[in-house]
Amino acid sequence: MKMRIFDTLSVAEKNIDTSSSVRIYLCGVTVYDESHIGHARTIIVFDTLRRYLESKGVKVNLVQNFTDVDDKIINRAKKENTSAETITTRYIKNYFDDFDKLNVKRADLYPKATEHITDMIDLIKGLIEKGFAYTSKNGVYFSVSKFKDYGKLSKKKIDELVSGARVEVDETKKDPLDFALWKFSDDSPTWESPWGNGRPGWHIECSAMSLKYLGSNFEIHGGGRDLIFPHHENEIAQSESFSGINFAKIWMHVGMVTINGEKMSKSLGNTKSIDHVLKRWGPNIIRLFCLSGHYTKPIDYSEDILKETITKWRQVENCYFEMILADNSQAIDGLDQIRNIIQESKAEFDSALDSDFNTPLALGVFFKLVKNINQLASSEKLTKTISDAVLPTFQEMSSILGLQVIQVTDNEKNMISNLIKQRDIFRSQKKFLEADAIRKQISDMNIVLIDHKNKTLWMKQEKIGIED
RNA sequence: GGUGAGGUGGCAGAGUGGCUAUGCGUUCGCCUGCAAAGCGAAUCUAUAGGGGUUCAAAUCCCUUCCUCACCUCCA
């Protein structure tokens, strides 16, 4: 396969090297609070990318870290009068609860910073030996001026950064731009190091863990756009100074989620937790929303847009049930035509994703296919043969997008079809009150009846919180 | 101020030189015992403003205006 992704570093689209496995390092979350819709977007984008690559038979090795040592965690622990570990354990569990519900496949590995302290210490040692880092009163620092390419990812010039005012003043650093690799501290949790007790800086953890698990030069390093500077810039400085070779082949950054056009932030109090949006919209709507704009661009979370998405999702559900409940009673024609549609859809879908992972375009292709099937169903031309021809493609696309139509048990199926039979009898006797009572009973099970000319089908709808 | 990304119909969102996606919305209609769901038709002829290149530009160049993000922890 030939897939191109926009690389932040070279400011150009680059081919993903799929000759062997595709190694992806994704910067995960700091576990001091609930995850929000912004985290969801980044992680769903990478989950979908991974699903797509795997659907093409490409082996993916996805590593996503948990930052479980950080000042915010310690502050939260102090506030709750408990240990940092209690906090991180709670929010790691919370993370998996949320993302399992969002149908995000588990990464191959979720390394935690606290479990890689020795790797970080080794890395820092190496950087000191090579002359890129030094010890001072408050910790060990990376000397930015020693790394000549500093600023190449974020396109910043060192001189401008210095004059750009908002650099923390710290007399103990040789240069205001130098950043901490190791911070001395007696506040628990701390670890021993050759330089003194303390804890690692944020940036060093991702360098240490990505180098350890994916090597010095892997295919894709990703995260939110807000991580470009300083986090990823610093990772490049550390990793390339240590290894002497180029770090990630492609830097892939996902745009921010705004809320009604405003940046989402704790201080504005407008964050939307995953728990909140799941209760309100459910996983499929959220995934569709997160993939509805090109991943490099910002997307705006607003009720109106999410509501539109419900309509689309209902069409997908309708399409699925029309297909699985199609029967043989019709003449078989139009099969060649539908085969063409399937071929075209597949080709367009792949081509959209191959071209810098254009998910909005791919979604459009998927919806078009859904529309085509619903058209056939509406005109009583959807036979079982046609359904069987389309279903694999429908399911493959759904699976890549991580969408899941709600499933029904055989018991439910039997019960529903019995109720429908009873209702049909009442209808034929023009006992509409009784028929409507059955319809109500069915609808209480989240089943919607689809009355065609000569038959009644049904679909199970996902419950969407906001519609209650 | 610096850097980057943008400004496309009521809304969302593709499209990097020519054939003006797609979806939502709205209106009417089909279907129905009535609904629901679905479908059809109609509506909308958009490309921030100005200039230029070209037979031809949303698409290339110049310019003006505007928006957003990052430059501090942040997905």
Quick check: A268 and A261 in contact, CB under 8 A?
no
pLDDT tens per residue, range A255-276 = 999 998 888 877 778 899 999 9
Is the preceding omega at residue A111 within 30 degrees of 0, hence cis?
Answer: no
Q: Does residue A172 register a pLDDT over 90?
A: no
CATH node for A308-401? 1.20.120.640
Quick check: A5 and A14 in contact, CB under 8 A?
yes
Q: Which residues contact A390 (CB under 8 A, 6 or more apart)?
A: A323, A338, A342, A369, A373
Nearest residue to nucleotide B35 when comparing alpha carbons to its C1'? A436
Residues A180-188 have a mean pLDDT of 92
Q: Which residues contact A84 (CB under 8 A, 6 or more apart)?
A: A68, A69, A73, A74, A77, A188, A189
More confident residue, A261 or A36: A36
Kind of pairing between the strands at A60-64 and A22-26: parallel
DSSP A354: H
Q: Does residue A168 register a pLDDT over 60?
A: no
Listed in order, the ranges of chain A carrying CATH 3.40.50.620 are: 4-254
Residue A310 CB lies within 7 Å of the nucleic strand B:
no
Which pLDDT value is given to residue A54?
Answer: 97
Residue located via tokens 């709750």: A80
Which pLDDT value is given to residue A335?
Answer: 84
Which pLDDT value is given to residue A173?
Answer: 87
pLDDT mean across residues, chain A? 92
Strand B proximity: list residues 126-155 of A with CB under 7 Å: 154-155
Residue % of chain A over a pLDDT of 90: 83
Token duo for residue A344: 């075209």
Quick check: A456 and A449 in contact, CB under 8 A?
yes
- Which bases of chain B are under 7 A from a protein CB atom? 1-6, 11-15, 21-25, 31-40, 68-75
Residue located via tokens 């360098």: A207
Residues A332-342 have a mean pLDDT of 83
**pLDDT band at residue A330, thresholds of 50, 70 and 90?**
low
Residues A174-187 have a mean pLDDT of 92
Q: What is the DSSP string of A82-146?
A: S-HHHHHHHHHHHHHHHHHHTTPPPPSB--BGGGGHHHHHHHHHHHHHTTSEEE-SSEEEE-GGG
Token duo for residue A54: 């795997």
- Largest Cα separation within chain A, whole Å, is 91
Strand B proximity: list residues 372-391 of A with CB under 7 Å: 374-375, 377-379
Quick check: A103 and A274 in contact, CB under 8 A?
no
Listed in order, the ranges of chain A carrying CATH 1.20.120.640 are: 308-401
pLDDT tens per residue, range A127-145 = 999 999 999 999 999 999 9
Q: Does residue A38 register a pLDDT over 60?
A: yes
State the alpha helices, DSSP H only, in A256-409. Answer: 274-281, 283-290, 303-324, 335-354, 359-378, 384-401
**pLDDT band at residue A243, thresholds of 50, 70 and 90?**
very high
Which nucleotide has the shortest C1'-to-CA distance from A316?
A: B38
Token duo for residue A289: 């929303």
On whether the A4-254 domain is CATH 3.40.50.620, my answer is yes
Which pLDDT value is given to residue A334?
Answer: 75
**pLDDT band at residue A331, thresholds of 50, 70 and 90?**
low
Range in A33-42, A63-72, A210-219, A253-262 with the lowest mean pLDDT: A253-262
Q: Does residue A402 register a pLDDT over 90?
A: yes
Which pLDDT value is given to residue A231?
Answer: 96
Residue % of chain A over a pLDDT of 70: 97
More confident residue, A175 or A63: A63
